[in-house]
Amino acid sequence: MKVIYPGSFDPVTFGHLDVIERASGLFDQVLVAIGVNSQKNNLFSPAERIEMLEELLYDYDNVEVKTFSCLLTEFMQSEGIHTEIRGLRAVPDYEYEKQMAVLNKQLYPEMETLFMISRPDYAYISASYAREIASYGGDVSGLVPANVEMRLREKYAGH
Ligand code: PNS
């Protein structure tokens, strides 16, 4: 079975990588899909986000990375994928995730959303905190891989 793991990945964190690694062991193919929303003020461009993910996922033969800039349900249908994976860290994620899963299913009744509970040591990692800590020059080595840490440092150099 081929599954999709969508997200903003701005930037990819250890939490995302853990979900991708586990999904890659469970399913035949995993499509990591970067949602591109021109209204959103992302730190990294779509090309930068693809590059960081591809550097990290080089060794995973059954994982590919793409961007999409339409509804997730439309993109899934165009890719012939019915199953979405999302990570769940803690209770605050739940309402947001449930709402998206229910709305997505209304749009695309054949789809299913599967949740993967984050490893406890990654449950407090988020891309937004990684960006915030890095913007103050703080240490993000426990939150993101080294290639991402380097790019965060470059982004905020001189701030
Ligand atoms: O990592 P994120 O920011 O929680 O990912 C959110 C994402 C990209 C999966 C979500 O915003 C999305 O699916 N965007 C595409 C537009 C869409 O389908 N919106 C309707 C959601 S019910």
pLDDT at 103: 98
User: What is the whole-number distance in angstroms between the Cα of residue 134 and the centre of ligand 1?
Assistant: 24
First vs last C-alpha separation in the chain: 45
User: What is the whole-number distance in angstroms between the Cα of residue 93 and the centre of ligand 1?
Assistant: 13
The residue whose C-alpha atom lies closest to atom 19 belonging to ligand 1 is: 71
The residue whose C-alpha atom lies closest to atom 4 belonging to ligand 1 is: 7
pLDDT by residue (tens digit) across 23-65? 999 999 999 999 999 888 999 999 999 999 999 999 999 999 9
Residue 147 parent element (H or E)? helix 146-156
CA separation, residue 113 to residues 103, 110, 142, 149 (Å): 11, 10, 29, 30
pLDDT averaged per 10 residues in sequence order, the chain, 159 residues: 98 98 98 94 97 97 98 98 96 94 98 96 95 97 98 89
pTM confidence score: 0.97
Question: Which protein residues are within 6 Å of ligand 1, measured from CB?
Answer: 6-8, 35, 71-72, 100, 103-104
Contact by Cβ (8 Å): 33, 152: no
